[in-house]
C-alpha cells in the first residue's frame, strides 16, 4: 500500500521546493530506531539517491528558509512556555518531524525527535495537513485509512471531518491520541512546502481546557514565523 500511495503522489507539476522536501524526507526515512550514524555514502545507498544529491539535500535542509526561521522561534516558545513544539511534513500516509523541541513538564510516553513518524489520521499534525491537502490527494489518503482502519473508520472519519472544519474555522485543530498528551496543530499556509506546526504538552487536563492556553500560543508562533519570513531577503 505504501508503494501505491507513493505512485499516486508522484505526479508532474510539483514545485521544486516540494521535490526537495520529499527527497529530504527520503533521507530521514533512512534513519530508524537503533540506526547507527550514517555517512553520505550509506545514506545514498539506503535512499537510492546519489551522493551528490544527499550532500545537496543536507545543505538544503540547513539552508531551508522555513526551518532556519522557525527553529529559533520554536525553541524560544518551547522554553518560555515549557511545552513541546514541532514542525512536520507529510510522507505518504504519515507525518515526519523535521524539527522537534521537547520542553514539557515531564517526559511524554514517546520521545519525539527529528525524523520521528506519527500516524496522519490520528494526530493533530496529520489532520491539519489533511485540511489543506489537495483534494485528489486527500481522497486517496482517506480511502487508504478506511481500508486500514476497518470498523474503526466511521468514528475516525467523523473526527477527521471535525478537525478539517476546525482548521477552516479557527486555523488549527486539536487531538489527544496519546494518554495525557494534548496537541494542537496548524498548517503553514504561507509556506511553499506542505509544513505543519504543532504545540503539545503532557497534562491531565482536557483537550478543551488546554485549548484556551495552547491555541493562542500556536497561532502567535505561526504569525511570528510568517512575519520573519516576510522580512527575509530570500522571499
Return the SS3 of 109.
Answer: coil
List per-residue pLDDT tens for the chain, 235 residues long: 444 455 444 443 444 455 555 656 665 555 554 444 555 666 566 656 566 655 544 544 555 678 888 989 999 999 999 999 999 888 889 998 888 898 755 544 345 566 778 999 999 999 999 999 999 999 999 999 999 999 999 999 999 999 999 999 999 999 998 888 999 999 998 877 789 999 999 899 999 999 999 999 999 999 999 999 888 766 5
Residue 124's pLDDT is 98
Return the SS3 of 197.
Answer: strand
Is residue 58 classed exposed, middle or buried when 0-12, 13-18 and 19+ CB atoms within 10 A define those classes?
middle
| DSSP, res 155 | H
Extended strands (E) in the chain: 84-91, 94-101, 117-119, 173-178, 181-187, 196-202
Closest to 116 (Cα-Cα) out of 191, 200, 186: 200
pTM of structure: 0.77
Return the SS3 of 37.
Answer: coil
Residue 129's pLDDT is 97
Distance, CA of 215 to CA of 175 (rounded, Å): 12
Distance, CA of 87 to CA of 226 (rounded, Å): 14
The values of phi and psi at residue 186, to 5°, are -145, 140
Q: What are the structural domains of the chain?
A: 2-63 (1.10.10), 65-231 (3.30.450.40)
Distance, CA of 188 to CA of 129 (rounded, Å): 9
Closest to 105 (Cα-Cα) out of 232, 210, 195, 222: 210
Using CA atoms, how far residue 176 sits from 37, 122, 128, 134, in Å, is 33, 9, 14, 25
Distance, CA of 193 to CA of 187 (rounded, Å): 10
Closest to 170 (Cα-Cα) out of 155, 181, 185: 185
CB 133 within 8 A of CB 161: no
Residue 103's pLDDT is 74
Residue 16's pLDDT is 47
The three state secondary structure string of 207-230 is: HHHHHHHHHHHHHHHHHHHHHHHH
| DSSP, res 105 | S
Amino acid at each position: 500500500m505504501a508503494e501505491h500511495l507513493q505512485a499516486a503522489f508522484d505526479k508532474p507539476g510539483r514545485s521544486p521546493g516540494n521535490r526537495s522536501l520529499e527527497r529530504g524526507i527520503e533521507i530521514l526515512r533512512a534513519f530508524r530506531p537503533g540506526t547507527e550514524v550514517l555517512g553520505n555514502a550509506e545514506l545514498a545507498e539506503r535512499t537510492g539517491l546519489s551522493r551528490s544529491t544527499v550532500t545537496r539535500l543536507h545543505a538544503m535542509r540547513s539552508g531551508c528558509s522555513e526551518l532556519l526561521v522557525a527553529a529559533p522561534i520554536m525553541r524560544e516558545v518551547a522554553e518560555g512556555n515549557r511545552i513541546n513544539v514541532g514542525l512536520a511534513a507529510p510522507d505518504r500516509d504519515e507525518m515526519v518531524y523535521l524539527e522537534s523541541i521537547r520542553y514539557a513538564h515531564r517526559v511524554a510516553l514517546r520521545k519525539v525527535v527529528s525524523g520521528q513518524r506519527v500516524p496522519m489520521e490520528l494526530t493533530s499534525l496529520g489532520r491539519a495537513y489533511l485540511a489543506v491537502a489537495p483534494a485528489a490527494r486527500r481522497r486517496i489518503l482517506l480511502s487508504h485509512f478506511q481500508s486500514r482502519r476497518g470498523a474503526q473508520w466511521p468514528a475516525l472519519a467523523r473526527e477527521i471531518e471535525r478537525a478539517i472544519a476546525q482548521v477552516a474555522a479557527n486555523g488549527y485543530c486539536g487531538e489527544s491520541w496519546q494518554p495525557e498528551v494534548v496537541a494542537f496543530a496548524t498548517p503553514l499556509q504561507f509556506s511553499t512546502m506542505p509544513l505543519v506546526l504543532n504545540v503539545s504538552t503532557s497534562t491531565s487536563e482536557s483537550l478543551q481546557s488546554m485549548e484556551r492556553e495552547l491555541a493562542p500560543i500556536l497561532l502567535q508562533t505561526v504569525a511570528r514565523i510568517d512575519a520573519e519570513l516576510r522580512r527575509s531577503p530570500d522571499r
